[in-house]
C-alpha cells in the first residue's frame, strides 16, 4: 500500500508537468502542420512562378538520376527556433514591375478568398512581384527566411504578429495565436534542384499564416474527446473509492473497536475484516499487542493489590487488636509491654513488606539503568558482607573477568536476595556460589545444604508472597524480585532440588565484545 500511495502522490505531482509537456508538444505539432500546409501551397505557387519566368520551359520532367522526389520537410520547433520581430516590408515600392506578373497577382487574390494566407512571389533579389495585397514593389530581402532563400536555402522563421493581432488571454497556455509561421521557398531553374546544388534561384515564394492555437483545436475535437474525458472521470472516481475502501474503511473499523475497548468492553476484535493494506494490518497488530499489554498490566495491578492487601491485613489486624486492648483493658506493665512488642514486630514486618513491594514494583515497571558490570567482583563483594556477619559464603568464578551490560543495583539486589535466602535455609554449612560462562551466557549457581524442599512446593517458589517462613517474618517477595530482575535483563532463573538443600540457577547474557 505504501508503494501504491507513493506512486499516486508521484503521479499527482508529475501530472501537471506531464500535461504541460503534452500541451507544448501538441502546440508544436500544430505549428508543424501549418508549415506543411504553407510548403504545399508555396510549391504549387512556385511552379506557377516558374512558368512566368520561363514561359518556354518544358512541362515534361527529365528522367531522374537518383531519388525521384526531393520533398521539403517542416523543420520549425517552438522549443528551439528564435522568435523574430514583426515581418514588415522595407524601403519604397519599385514601379518597374513587369507586366507578366499581373496574372499571377490576380490568381493569388482569388486564392486568398479561400485559404486566408498571405502568399507573395518575390524575384531573386527579394522584391515582391506578385501579391494579393498592395505590396508589389516592396523588398522583403531583410527577412532572415528570405535571405536564406536568396542563397538557395530553406529556413522557415517564427515572427511576432502585428499590433492589430489579438493577444492571447492571460489564462491561455498557448502562444500559437501570437506568432506567424513564415516560409520562403526558393524556386530553382531546374525543378529537381535543392539547397546545395549549383543552380540559379529564379524566384522565391513567401507565405505566412497564424497557426491554430491549442484551445481552438481542442474545441474542434470536443466531440471526439467526450469519451476519453468521461473515462478519465470514471477512473479517478474509481481510484478514490478504492482508496477509501482500502484505507479509510479499515481505519474507521479500528477506531470503533478502539473506542469499545476504551469503554471497557473485553474481547473486542481489533483485526480489520476483509482485505486491508499491510500498514493497516501492522497498526492492528500494534493495537492488539498494546491492548494485551494493558490488560495484562491491569490484571497484574489487580492481583498485586489483592495480594498486598491480603499480606498487610494480618499485621494491621494484629496491631489494631493490640491497640484496642491497650486502650480498653486494665493490664499490668509487663502485659502492656508484651502487646507493644507485638505491635512493633508487626510494624517492622509491614515496613519490610512495603520496602520489598517498592523494590519489586520498580524492577517490574522500569527499564534497567545499564552499565558495565564485572559479575565476579559483584559476587565477591556480596559474599564478603555476609562473611563479616559470620555467615559462611564461598564464591568460585573464572580468573578472566565476566562482564555484563546490566543495572548494578538490580544485580546486587537479586544476588543479595539469593544468598540471603540460602543462608537462612542452609544451616551451618557454607553457601556455595559458582560462576561459569557457557557460550554467550553467564551462569551463576547458589546452593545451600539445608532441608530438602518438597516436590509440590517447587512450582511456587518464585510466586509473589509465597513463603514457608511467614511466622519468622518472611515476605515471600525475595525470589519474585530475583525472577523480575533476571527476566528484565533478558535472562532466566530456575530452581533445582538436591539431596540436601536447593540450588538456584541464574542465567544472564554476557556483554558483547
Three-state SS across 404-461?
EEECHHHHHHHHHHHHHHHHHHCCCCCEEEEEEEECCEEEEEEECCCCCCCHHHHHHC
Write the CB contacts of 143 (distance below 8 Å, at least 6 apart in sequence): 84, 87, 126, 157, 182, 184, 206
CA distance 181 to 145: 11
Choose among 225, 131, 209, 143: nearest CA to 177: 209
CA distance 155 to 182: 9
What is the tens place of the pLDDT at every residue in 256-285? 878 887 777 777 777 766 666 677 777 777
The torsion angle over the Cα atoms of residues 480, 486, 491 and 497, rounded to 10 degrees, is -50
How many helices (H) and strands (E) the chain has is answered by 11, 13
- Residue 287's pLDDT is 79
- Residue 280's pLDDT is 74
- Residue 467's pLDDT is 64
- Residue 207's pLDDT is 92
Q: What are the distances in angstroms from CA 472 to CA 84, 218, 316, 349, 452?
A: 110, 99, 17, 10, 19
The 3-state secondary structure of 99-135, one letter per residue? HHHHHHHHHHHHHHHHHCCCCEEECCCCEEEECCCCC
CA distance 227 to 223: 8
Write the CB contacts of 74 (distance below 8 Å, at least 6 apart in sequence): 32, 35, 36, 39, 156
The number of residues in the chain equals 513
Write the CB contacts of 115 (distance below 8 Å, at least 6 apart in sequence): 41
Q: What are the distances in angstroms from CA 100 to CA 49, 129, 131?
A: 10, 10, 13
- Residue 256's pLDDT is 80
Choose among 274, 271, 311, 317: nearest CA to 291: 271
The set of cell numbers assigned to 224 is: 471526439
Q: What are the distances in angstroms from CA 424 to CA 31, 226, 473?
A: 103, 94, 12
H or E segment to which residue 349 belongs: helix 333-365
- Residue 374's pLDDT is 92
What is the tens place of the pLDDT at every residue in 212-250? 766 666 666 666 667 777 888 888 888 777 777 777 777
Please give the chain's pLDDT, 513 residues, in tens: 566 667 766 767 777 777 777 767 777 788 888 889 999 999 999 988 988 888 776 556 666 666 667 788 888 887 777 778 777 766 666 656 678 888 888 888 888 887 766 789 999 999 999 988 778 888 899 999 999 999 999 999 988 876 544 444 444 444 456 788 899 999 998 888 887 777 889 999 999 888 876 666 666 666 666 777 788 888 888 877 777 777 777 777 778 878 887 777 777 777 766 666 677 777 777 877 887 777 777 776 777 777 677 667 777 888 888 888 888 777 788 888 888 888 888 788 778 777 777 777 777 666 778 899 999 999 999 999 888 888 888 999 998 999 999 888 888 888 988 888 888 877 778 889 999 999 889 999 999 888 877 777 777 777 766 665 555 555 566 777 788 888 888 899 888 888 778 888 999 999 876
Amino acid at each position: 500500500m505504501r508503494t501504491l500511495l507513493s506512486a499516486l502522490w508521484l503521479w499527482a505531482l508529475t501530472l501537471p508537468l506531464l500535461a504541460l509537456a503534452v500541451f507544448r508538444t501538441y502546440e508544436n505539432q500544430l505549428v508543424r502542420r501549418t508549415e506543411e500546409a504553407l510548403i504545399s501551397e508555396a510549391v504549387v505557387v512556385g511552379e506557377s512562378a516558374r512558368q512566368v519566368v520561363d514561359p518556354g520551359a518544358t512541362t515534361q520532367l527529365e528522367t531522374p538520376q537518383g531519388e525521384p522526389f526531393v520533398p521539403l520537410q517542416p523543420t520549425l520547433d517552438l522549443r528551439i527556433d528564435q522568435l523574430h520581430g514583426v515581418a514588415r516590408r522595407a524601403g519604397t515600392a519599385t514601379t518597374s514591375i513587369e507586366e507578366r506578373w499581373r496574372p499571377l497577382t490576380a490568381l493569388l487574390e482569388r486564392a486568398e478568398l479561400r485559404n486566408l494566407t498571405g502568399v507573395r512571389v518575390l524575384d531573386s533579389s527579394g522584391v515582391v512581384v506578385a501579391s494579393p495585397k498592395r505590396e508589389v514593389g516592396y523588398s522583403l530581402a531583410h527577412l532572415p527566411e528570405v535571405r536564406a532563400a536568396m542563397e538557395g536555402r530553406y529556413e522557415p522563421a517564427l515572427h511576432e504578429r502585428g499590433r492589430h493581432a489579438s493577444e492571447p488571454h492571460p489564462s491561455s497556455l498557448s502562444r500559437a495565436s501570437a506568432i506567424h509561421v513564415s516560409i520562403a521557398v526558393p524556386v530553382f531553374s531546374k525543378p529537381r534542384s535543392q539547397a546545395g546544388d549549383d543552380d540559379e534561384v529564379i524566384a522565391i515564394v513567401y507565405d505566412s499564416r497564424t497557426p491554430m492555437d491549442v484551445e481552438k483545436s481542442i474545441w474542434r475535437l470536443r466531440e471526439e474527446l467526450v469519451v476519453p474525458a468521461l473515462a478519465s472521470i470514471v477512473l479517478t472516481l474509481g481510484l478514490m473509492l478504492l482508496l477509501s475502501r482500502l484505507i479509510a474503511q479499515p481505519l474507521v473499523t479500528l477506531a470503533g473497536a478502539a473506542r469499545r475497548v476504551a469503554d471497557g468492553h473485553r474481547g473486542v476484535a481489533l483485526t480489520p475484516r476483509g482485505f486491508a493494506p499491510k500498514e493497516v494490518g501492522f497498526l492492528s497488530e500494534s493495537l492488539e499487542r498494546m491492548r494485551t499489554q494493558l490488560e495484562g498490566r491491569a490484571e497484574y495491578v489487580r492481583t498485586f493489590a489483592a495480594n498486598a492487601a491480603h499480606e498487610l491485613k494480618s499485621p494491621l489486624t494484629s496491631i489494631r487488636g493490640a491497640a484496642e486492648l491497650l486502650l480498653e483493658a486494665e493490664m499490668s506493665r509487663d502485659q502492656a509491654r508484651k502487646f507493644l512488642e507485638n505491635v512493633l514486630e508487626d510494624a517492622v514486618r509491614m515496613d519490610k513488606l512495603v520496602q520489598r513491594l517498592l523494590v519489586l514494583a520498580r524492577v517490574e515497571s522500569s527499564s534497567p539503568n545499564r552499565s558495565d558490570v564485572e559479575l565476579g567482583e559483584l559476587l565477591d563483594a556480596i559474599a564478603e558482607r555476609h562473611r563479616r556477619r559470620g555467615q559462611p559464603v564461598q564464591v568460585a568464578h573464572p580468573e578472566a573477568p565476566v562482564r555484563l551490560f546490566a543495572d548494578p543495583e538490580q544485580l546486587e539486589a537479586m544476588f543479595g536476595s539469593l544468598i540471603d535466602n540460602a543462608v537462612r535455609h542452609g544451616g551451618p554449612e557454607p553457601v556455595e556460589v559458582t560462576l561459569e560462562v557457557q557460550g554467550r551466557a553467564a551462569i551463576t549457581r547458589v546452593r545451600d545444604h539445608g532441608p530438602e524442599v518438597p516436590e509440590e512446593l517447587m512450582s511456587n517458589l518464585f510466586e509473589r508472597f509465597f513463603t514457608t517462613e511467614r511466622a519468622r517474618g518472611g515476605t515471600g517477595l525475595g525470589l519474585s524480585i530475583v525472577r523480575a530482575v533476571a527476566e528484565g535483563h533478558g535472562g532466566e532463573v530456575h530452581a533445582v532440588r538436591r539431596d540436601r538443600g536447593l540450588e538456584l540457577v541464574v542465567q544472564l547474557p554476557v556483554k558483547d565484545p
